[in-house]
């Protein structure tokens, strides 16, 4: 468990315009449908982001986070991973939802197909020219793996794990040679699930592959530090927001005409 289900994402430094998003359904290339949450910036900057949640899939924290991104000018679509296996849509799931059994049935291919559908959604309405992914924990791992796509301007991972998510499957380290998109990785120095040597192994793999990357570790910060209930890490959250926004801004194309 990354953080409490009623946690809220931190506010960006300087605040964000209030935005109310909406629940949508997307269809992946394999025909699967899944729930998502869409939030449009009041004035489009030309940048869009696919928000990739942790192992619990799409719930309130990530809906709110999509609205925060929109509030700073970045259109957002937050996705759910369980459209192929769960009967109830994300907003209808109770606290007893057995997300772990559904995580076990995801695959790199299914996650990639869902990301592709969200990328297509962001591009489809003429508001976005540059698309990024941003993922957390489980989603952070898959956000890093998305760097092999040719249709992304960059990928961002918060405390994305370095282990296989399926037996014999890819890891962010093993796939470094395939990466085409720039990478921003943000880690907690006190995160026991991602020891410093794994972050350094990731860095070494990216350097060997010649992949553009920035990896930053916050000393003493735990896993899932990007959570407004962690008042002790407000400075880290503010810095992370700044790094993410600068990463997006410097790699985004012009606004649509």
For 163, half-sphere exposure in the C-beta direction (CA atoms, 13 angstrom radius) is 8
Contact 157, 73 (CB under 8 A): no
pLDDT of the residue at 228: 79
Helices (H) and strands (E) in the chain, counts: 6, 8
pLDDT of the residue at 153: 98
Give the number of other CB atoms < 10 A from CB of residue 89.
Answer: 17
Residue ranges of the chain whose pLDDT lies below 50: none
- Tell me: the pLDDT tens digits for 14-39? 999 999 999 999 999 999 999 999 99
Q: Which stretch of DSSP H or E encloses residue 138?
A: helix 138-145
pLDDT of the residue at 3: 65
Read off the pTM: 0.96
Give the number of other CB atoms < 10 A from CB of residue 16.
Answer: 18
Q: Which stretch of DSSP H or E encloses residue 63?
A: helix 60-71
pLDDT of the residue at 231: 85
């Amino acid at each position: 468990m990354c953080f409490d289900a009623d946690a809220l994402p931190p506010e960006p430094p300087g605040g964000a315009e209030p935005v109310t998003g909406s629940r949508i359904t997307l269809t992946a290339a394999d025909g699967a449908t899944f729930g998502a949450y869409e939030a449009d910036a009041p004035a489009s900057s030309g940048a869009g982001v696919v928000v990739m949640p942790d192992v619990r899939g799409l719930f309130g924290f990530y809906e709110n986070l999509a609205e925060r991104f929109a509030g700073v000018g970045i259109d957002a679509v937050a996705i759910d991973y369980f459209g192929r296996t769960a009967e109830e849509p994300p907003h209808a799931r109770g606290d007893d939802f057995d997300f772990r059994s559904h995580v076990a049935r995801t695959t790199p291919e299914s996650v990639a197909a869902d990301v592709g559908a969200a990328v297509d959604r962001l591009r489809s309405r003429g508001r976005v020219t540059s698309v990024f992914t941003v993922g957390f924990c489980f989603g952070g791992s898959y956000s890093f793996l998305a760097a092999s796509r040719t249709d992304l301007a960059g990928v961002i991972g918060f405390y994305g794990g370095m282990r296989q998510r399926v037996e014999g499957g890819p890891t962010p380290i093993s796939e470094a040679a395939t990466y085409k998109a720039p990478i921003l990785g943000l880690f907690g120095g006190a995160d026991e699930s991602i020891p410093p040597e794994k972050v350094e192994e990731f860095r070494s793999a990216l350097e060997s592959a010649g992949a553009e990357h920035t990896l930053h570790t916050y000393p003493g910060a735990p896993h899932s530090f990007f959570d407004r209930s962690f008042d002790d890490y407000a400075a880290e959250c503010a810095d992370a927001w700044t790094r993410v926004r600068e990463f997006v801004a410097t790699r985004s194309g012009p606004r649509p005409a």
